[in-house]
Homo-oligomer: A and B are copies of this chain.
Amino acid sequence: MRKEMFQHEISVLRDTFRRLIRRHAKTNITKLITKTHPADMAVLYRFFTDMEQKTLFDLMMDTEQVSEFLTELDEPIILNLIGDEPPEKIAKLFQKLGVNDQADILALFSDEKTQSVLDLLNAEKQEEVEEIMSYPVDSAASIMTTDIFTLHQNTVAYEAIKELQKQEKSEMVFYLYITDDDNRLTGVISLRDLVTTPPETSLVNIMTKNVVSVRPETDQEEVAKIVARYNYLAVPVVDMDDSMLGIVTVDDVVDVIREEATEDFLQMAGAGKDREILLKSSWENVKSRLPWLFASWVGGVLAAFIIGKFEHMLETTVALAAFIPVIIGMGGNVGTQSSTIVVRGMATGRVEAGGELKLVYKELRVGLILGVLYGMLLGVFTLLPFIEAPASLGIIVGLSICSSMLIASFVGTVVPLVLQKIDVDPAIATGPFVTTSIDILGVTLYFLIASVVSGVV
């Protein structure tokens, strides 16, 4: 009985492959490749050198596993592995791959290279691949499997089972899709219902008629939501005439959900949206991380400018400077909490139209409670004799923390809601916008409160 593949086993396997490569033991390597799950091979590849990757891949080219291996492999590694190979070799490799996997790989190449590979495919394959490539990235079409098989609704159960026995290629046959005379999708039958039905029954009598389907251009995130909500194993993709183009299977949906979560994570932290950032060079890292830092730089510079305007106040009360970090820090953190809760709530369907005002109101209440608590806590702290400070400093700092936290929870909640309304992905822009504006608003409020209180007290 094979147990899960643990971290430890991955290391052992990696070392074994390395040893065999050093000894040029080709037969043993091929044997080990066929015994290793392609998904595990894909994980191992993250730890091999370029040379090791190429050596193993040349041996893998002739195995049946190469197709599943490439589906599981990280994109930068695919590019590294076959990006420089001549079109002929890639066209040969494509014979082992599904149309969708071919389209995915071509999407990594330059237009010129893509064309030269396409030219080498036969006319029918070429057309299929080009059709898939014509749909937007991250659409249902880009993740669907086109190797499907449908049956006419007048087929009887035992004929359907016979048909099934002829299909070798179709992936994940657990549902049978049923069509009418016009080739329109009219129903679906689970394999289980088919098996447990009398052999002479017409499929039309046992099929489920309300089939939930998606269009090829539907966003993959939307497809994932449907599959997750209704616990489907697959969802059919149909064109405008309700004719079936393919299916999106749950294993691809699992990948989409993880990938979308990773993208959201990176975007919220202002680190771009490249899921494979860990595999990219330092320069590419710098390039994807630079823009958000620029937003934050602008915020910081504006804050410096505002503080400069209050120079005279700082001259009389130097102690004011000491509390700048805590005021913008606490504001920034409350704002990040609020925006994370809202952005994630949108992604999981928990923030939906109609509840926005209630949500803003609740976040304001939370911001106020937290602001009052920490305002008092910090106000008391300023009374400690660690810095030369006027008696009013406690009131200034306490009020500032309180109001900056209140405003931050408002900004953190409203920004993603507004972004969604105007059709900008809330995950992309929320992070930079919220922290930058809180930096600026925080210091402005602080020094305004300081001038008012100093004038009054």
Contact = CB atoms under 8 A, between A and B. Distances in A.
Interface of A: 1-5, 7, 10-11, 37, 39-40, 43, 46-47, 72, 74, 161, 164-165, 173-174, 185, 191-192, 194-196, 210-214, 218, 222, 226-233, 238, 242, 250-251, 253-255, 257-258, 261-262, 264-266, 268-271, 277-279, 282-283, 285-286, 289-290, 292-293, 296-297, 299-301, 303-305, 307-308, 311, 314-315, 318-330, 332-334, 336-337, 339-341, 343-345, 348-355, 359, 362, 365-366, 369-370, 373-374, 377-378, 381, 386-388, 435, 439, 442-443
A350 B47 CA distance: 10
B345 A213 contact: no
A301 B242 contact: no
A297 to B, nearest CB: 6
B303 A435 contact: no
Most chain B C-beta atoms within 10 Å of own C-beta, residue among A74, A185, A269: A269
Which 8 interchain pairs have the tightest Cβ spacing?
A300-B326, A269-B340, A321-B321, A308-B387, A231-B251, A261-B261, A307-B322, A303-B325
A210 B307 CA distance: 68
B289 A233 contact: no
Nearest to A345: B278
A47 B286 contact: no
B325 A366 contact: no
A164 B196 contact: yes
A329 B43 CA distance: 36
A91 to B, nearest CB: 27
A214 B3 CA distance: 7
A87 to B, nearest CB: 30
25 contacts: A1-B210, A3-B212, A3-B213, A5-B226, A7-B352, A11-B353, A37-B230, A165-B195, A191-B191, A191-B192, A195-B195, A231-B251, A261-B261, A269-B340, A285-B362, A289-B366, A290-B370, A293-B337, A300-B330, A304-B387, A307-B321, A307-B387, A324-B324, A325-B325, A325-B443
Copies per complex? 2
B282 A362 contact: yes
A174 B194 CA distance: 12
A322 B308 contact: yes
Contact of A326 (B232, B283, B304): B304
A46 to B, nearest CB: 7
Contact of A344 (B265, B314, B337, B370): B265
A326 B301 contact: yes
A330 B388 contact: no
Given A11-B353, A279-B350, A303-B326, 5 more contacts: A1-B185, A5-B229, A233-B250, A265-B268, A278-B341
Contacts of A326: 297, 299-301, 303-304
A283 B373 CA distance: 13
Contacts of A174: 174, 191-192, 233
Contacts of A290: 370, 373
A215 to B, nearest CB: 8
A230 B348 contact: no
A374 B285 contact: no
Contacts of A230: 37, 39
B319 A308 contact: yes
Contact of A271 (B265, B327, B337): B337
Contacts of A320: 321
A354 B324 contact: no
Contacts of A253: 254
A3 B185 CA distance: 12
Contacts of A314: 314, 318, 321
Given A192-B174, A227-B254, A366-B285, A311 B319 contact: yes
Most chain B C-beta atoms within 10 Å of own C-beta, residue among A222, A300, A374: A300
A289 B311 CA distance: 35
Most chain B C-beta atoms within 10 Å of own C-beta, residue among A174, A254, A314, A321: A321
A250 to B, nearest CB: 5
A141 to B, nearest CB: 15
Given A1-B213, A174-B174, A271-B337, A330 B297 contact: yes
B329 A435 contact: yes
